[in-house]
Structure 1
Amino acid sequence: MAVVTLNRPERRNALDGKTKTALRGALEDVAADDAVRAVLLTGTGGSFCAGQDLAEHAAALREDPAHAFDTVEEDYAPVIRLLATMPKPVVAAVNGTCVGAGLALALACDLRVLAEDAVFGTAFSAIGLTCDSGLSSTLTRAVGESRARELVLLAEPFGAEQAVNWGISGRVVPRDEVAAQGRALAARLAAGPTAAYAETKRLIAQSWERDLGATLRAEAQAQARLGLTADHAGAVEAFLGKRKPTFEGR
């Protein structure tokens, strides 16, 4: 298991250029490392991530507004793709403030552990912008179109219990337990059938683009691939022998 930590607590872990580059690099490394079988993403201090660093953004607007948003495709999009598509599960330990692109980061992860006093929000319309970092898709899939419209258009903050009740799945825990429970959940996944997890991530991500027939074919192909893994064969024998299976991710 690998832990990736946003570390700008004095700025609520807001994303400036240096942080975005470091985050992308760290995620590329853990995604490519076969020894890493699960990833935990979290923040330091009292925030998970406050989104884009607006001081940096204001400077970019003053310097060259035509290119101030190049970062959306150059930085944010690759990070979201890495979280959503790396062939291993990713857990977000949301230890506090989680707004804007920070909310998008959390939604791009597979599972979430939420501090009971965490504050969430879309934030974009409050500064005259619309969604980026995949939020128009991930938020809509999580909470439904009507709720997503309300959350983005009104940009009102909401809490962890509301997040879960509305469909942003997660475990709500006391703030001082977020790190430990996040690690425990990531460790549990790391000890599981990670080849199967990778296939599951792909199937779910692509399900919105397929009709039923295509989905059935994709599932059959994924099952056939997993049927050749040592994990599957060993788990079947363990079941028959009434033993707990051991998964090695292959």
Structure 2
Amino acid sequence: MTDQSIQFQLENGVARITLNRPDKLNSFTADMHGELAQALDKVEQCTDLRVLILTGNGRGFCAGQDLSERQMSAGDAPVDLGATIEKFYAPLVRRLRALAAPVVVGVNGVAAGAGANLALAGDIVIATRSASFIQPFCRLGLLPDTGGTFFLPRLVGTARAMGLSLLGDKLSAEQAAQWGLIWECVDDDAFQARLNELAAHFAQAPTKGLAYAKKAIYASDAHSLDQQLDLERDLMRELGASEDYREGVNAFLGKRAPQFKGK
């Protein structure tokens, strides 16, 4: 399916969503949010989903909100940014985090504002060496949204989160990888091959186990150690009854490659 602002493909359990406003650095409009939501509907309804790959067309991943939708004159009423977040950006982040399969984000160029924080909502984030991450909200009198104030301090610590948020400086992909903001920085000419490699890896992985690992890791922010140990117990009890666990053990003992079904 190809829409005006989103390209979507689903084949053999591998879903690919590509932001497709390259002339505007894939910045978000209300229509684009709607198309993305429809694509995620299809992803969530896929019964054999193994992985979602999210990236952008052109020279940028996503420049955040398209401010041409926000032009204001002196006499205009204030824009309710809270309503925009509640309707579009917050549900998008929640859906990516809750997806019962790995979300791989490929940052192919600049990721700014909501675009940068959308990228950080992924489970595995890789970026081209020419890519960069920018939190430009401070230049508009705003704060990092789309989960920025949650992701940044947890990924890079308070001091670096403050610097990125209050100064709005550009962070190179290489530095982002060194800081632990993203998983990997790859050469531009190796980027697509690396995305395909990850797609192929997750397409044959034990998806339910990965989904539960994702669930447990994200739950740990709000848990005590005792609560987390209890959650691990409960999830492991369920996974121990899965076909993939049985296959993994048999493959290990038989010294062969496992054939996971993802269930």
Same fold (TM over 0.5): yes
Separation in 2 of the partners of 1:89 and 1:63? 43
User: Which secondary structure does the structure 1 equivalent of 2:133 belong to?
Assistant: strand
Matching residue within 69, 80, 92 for 1:56 = 69
Query: Is the alpha carbon distance of 1:225 and 1:29 closer, same or farther for their aligned partners in structure 2, counting shifts above 3 Å?
Result: same
Share of identical aligned residues, percent? 39
1:33-80 deviations in whole A, cap 9, x for unaligned?
122210100000000000000111225997542535411110001110
> In structure 1, what residue type is equivalent to 2:220?
S
| 2:201 is the alignment partner of 1:191 | no
Query: Is the alpha carbon distance of 1:60 and 1:92 closer, same or farther for their aligned partners in structure 2, counting shifts above 3 Å?
Result: farther
Tell me how many residue pairs correspond in the alignment: 250
Superposition map of 1:90-239 within 5 A: 90-239=103-252
> In structure 2, what residue type is equivalent to 1:101?
A
Relative contact order, higher structure (CA 8 A, sep 6+): 1
RMSD of equivalent CA atoms: 1.6
The answer (yes or no) to whether the contact 2:112–2:134 under 8 Å persists in 1 is yes
| 2:33 is the alignment partner of 1:20 | yes
Query: Is the alpha carbon distance of 1:61 and 1:229 closer, same or farther for their aligned partners in structure 2, counting shifts above 3 Å?
Result: farther
Separation in 2 of the partners of 1:61 and 1:119? 34
Segments of 5+ residues of structure 1 without an aligned counterpart are none
- What is the TM-score with the length of structure 2 in the denominator? 0.91
User: Which secondary structure does the structure 1 equivalent of 2:146 belong to?
Assistant: coil
Shift of 1:155: 0.6
Separation in 2 of the partners of 1:27 and 1:110? 16
Segments of 5+ residues of structure 2 without an aligned counterpart are 1-13
Counterpart in the other structure of 2:9: none
Query: Is the alpha carbon distance of 1:240 and 1:23 closer, same or farther for their aligned partners in structure 2, counting shifts above 3 Å?
Result: same
Q: Considering fraction of residues, name the structure with more helix.
A: 1
Separation in 2 of the partners of 1:46 and 1:26? 22
